Structure formats: structure tokens, C-alpha cells
Chain A
Amino acid sequence: MTNDQIRQAILQIISVIAPDEDLTHVKSDVPLRDQLELDSMDFLDIVMELRKRYGVEVPEADYGQLASLDSCAAYLAPKLKDK
């Protein structure tokens, strides 16, 4: 997946987890938490959906890497390069 595809995939996941959030204006360089109402349970779900959909494991110590769409893309790119 390209970095852009990863950003799209994360947005797609968030739309399933939090269908009540408006995702049309999410900025990719700003922490998701600053733009959306997401709590720790929701972040766990992003990790769980990544595992369910792409077989990617994100250890708890790395949850911080998923702060913004850009940091997600940078962190996940090596893990998703063949997907």
C-alpha cells in the first residue's frame, strides 16, 4: 500500500468505528484526537481492525505512532508494503 492508501484505509476504519464522526475535513498532519472524539477504546479498535483486515500487529508500546494520519502512514508503510 502507498502512504496515501494507508491514510484512506485508516479513515475507512474510523468511519466504521465512529460512524457519527464527520471525516470530510480531517487533516493528515494533525493528531486525530484533536479533530475527532476518539477515546482509548476507539484507538484499541483501530489496532484491532488493522489486525482483522490486514493481519498487521501493532504492539501496545507503539499505539502512540497512530496519532495522526501521517504518522500512521509512516509507521505502517513497512508493515503494509506487500498488502
Chain B
Amino acid sequence: MKRTTLVMLSAFGLLLCGAAAQQLPQIGEILRRLDDNYSQTTDVSARVSLTQQKPGQGTKAIDLLYYRRDSDQSFLIVMTAPETEKGNGYLRVGDNFWMYRRNTRTFQHINRDENIGGTNAKGENFEDRKLVDLYAPAADTAGREAIARDKLGQIPVYRLEVRGKVSDVDYPKKLFWVRQDNALLLKEQAFTSSGTLMQTAYYLKYTEINGRFVPVRQLFIDEFEKGNKTAVEISEISTQKLSDALFTKAYLENLSK
């Protein structure tokens, strides 16, 4: 009897272990790991190149310098190309967000919804907002969290669906493909509330800096207006402390002289 009980317990234990091996992580946990992977805890500076392709309009290359101060999440963007945008910039300090125009030498207060340098990127995209604050797990038809195992090429990933939990997110529904081994985001699809796919993003290459990951090569495909795509490359990343003088209007103005 004792032996039978032990066998049964062992079998039950094995079953539990098997189930645990099959059990999917919670979406909230993955979102937290994504936040941990990306949130920089030091000052950051980098060179960013955006290459936009639009059918019938050819290719437009935009280069900019990006500086971010960790203490108050201020940031400075200085456009370096194309020539028409060179010297223009964006400065965010606290709640204030200014756009600087080199040709008129004026600063204008703008809102965080404003597009940066004629691209689809908005001021709010440069803010350090946590995914866990913005998105909540979506449920599938059975009422369970919408997460599944999947493969992207040969890489095992979790495919998960999230819904915006605050109103000021660009897209109210997103699908993420996250690597199972290190919780890096590889692919992201953004939908409208009616379920129309609007954008697919691929995070093609990461670099590790101080234990955090930066997606140094990204590709954004406009699914609504076919043929539009934007490639983003981030280089010359530095985490050295930046001078406070950098995050001032005077600095931006002087750069353009």
C-alpha cells in the first residue's frame, strides 16, 4: 500500500512538473521583464538615423542626436540631417516641451503628441513610460490571458496580446513577440480599437549596455499605407553623465549658430 502510494505520488509529482514546464508565464510578468530590460538608469546619449521610405516619394534620411538625463527624464534632440532640418531641435525639461526652429531662432511650446522632425515619432515616444503602466493583459475567448508559445524563424517566443489601460496610448491593442530565453521584444503589431492592423515593428538587433538592452536596429512597417516603412539605427551610445547645461535652451541655440 505504502509502495503504491509512493508510486502514485511520484507520478502525480511528475505530472505537476510537466504541467509546470508547459505553464505559460503571466503577461504582466513579461511586461515587467521587458521594462527591466529596456529602462536605462543612467544618462544616455546616442546618434539616431531614421530612413523613411514612401512610395512615389523616394527615401528620406533623418539623423539626430539624442541626449537623455536620468534624474528628471529630460531629453534633448538635435537634428543633424537633412539640411532642411539641421539645427532644429526639441527640448523637454520637466513638463515643458519646446521645439526650436533654427531659421527663425525661436522656441515654441509644443505638446507631446507633436511629430518629431516630420517623422511619425512623437514626443511621447521619447518618454520613459513603463509598459506595465500603459498596457494590461488581454483575455482570449476562454477568458484566459492571451499568451501562447510561438516561433519567430527559429527563435522560440511568447506571443502575447495587451490592451491599453490608459487612454493616451497610441494604439489600444498590441501583439508582442518576446523571446522566451531573455525577454527581448522581437516583433510588435499595433492595432486600432476596431482591430485594424496599423503598424508592424521588428527589433532586429540589440546591444547590451550596463545590463540593459537597447534595440539598435529597428524596422517599422506601415500596414495601413502599404509601402511606407522606417528603419531606425542607433549608434554611438554612451551612458556617461551628461552636463546639466546640455538641457537648456541656450545650449540648443548655441549649437545652431
Question: Is B truly associated with A?
Answer: no
CB within 8 Å of A: which residues of B? none
